[in-house]
Amino acid sequence: MRGLELSQPRPTVLKIGGSVITDKTQELGVRMDVISRLADEIRDANPKNLIIVHGGGSFGHPIAQKHAIKDGFKEESQIIGFAETHHVMTVLNGLFMDALIWRGIPAVSITPSSCMMTKNGRIACFEDSPLKQLMKMGFIPVLYGDAIFDTELGFTILSGDQIASFLAVRFNAENILIGVDVDGLYDADPKTDANAKMFKHLTLEELRKIQGRLGGSNACDVTGGMTNKVAELISAVEHGIPVLIVNASKPGYVYKALKGEKVKGTLIEKE
Ligand code: IP8
- pLDDT single digits (tens) 15-59: 999 999 999 899 999 999 999 999 999 999 999 899 999 999 999
Nearest ligand 1 atom to alpha carbon 85: 9
Distance (Å) from CA 144 to ligand 1 centroid? 7
Q: Which of 20, 23, 86, 146 to mutate to test the pocket of ligand 1 (most atoms within 8 A of CB)?
A: 146
Residue 227, CA distances (Å) to 59, 144, 189, 263 in order: 21, 19, 11, 23
- Compute the distance between CA of residue 118 and CA of residue 113 in angstroms, rounded to an integer: 9
Res 221: pLDDT: 76
- Compute the distance between CA of residue 9 and CA of residue 148 in angstroms, rounded to an integer: 30
Worst-scoring range by mean pLDDT, 32-36, 126-130, 133-137, 220-224? Answer: 220-224
- pLDDT single digits (tens) 62-101: 999 999 999 999 999 999 999 999 999 999 999 999 999 9
Res 62: pLDDT: 97
Nearest ligand 1 atom to alpha carbon 223: 8
Across 204-214, average pLDDT = 85
* Sheet (strand 146-150) strand order: 122-126, 116-119, 146-150, 154-158
Q: Which of 27, 88, 89, 148 to mutate to test the pocket of ligand 1 (most atoms within 8 A of CB)?
A: 89
Spatial contact of 16 and 176, defined as CB atoms under 8 Å apart: no
β pairing state of 140-144 and 50-54: parallel
The yes-or-no verdict on residue 239 having pLDDT over 70 is yes
Distance (Å) from CA 102 to ligand 1 centroid? 25
Ligand 1 site: residues with CB under 6 angstroms? Answer: 18, 55-56, 60-61, 64, 85, 89, 145-147, 157, 159-161, 222-223
Distance (Å) from CA 265 to ligand 1 centroid? 22
Res 84: pLDDT: 98
- Compute the distance between CA of residue 217 and CA of residue 58 in angstroms, rounded to an integer: 13
- Compute the distance between CA of residue 160 and CA of residue 225 in angstroms, rounded to an integer: 11
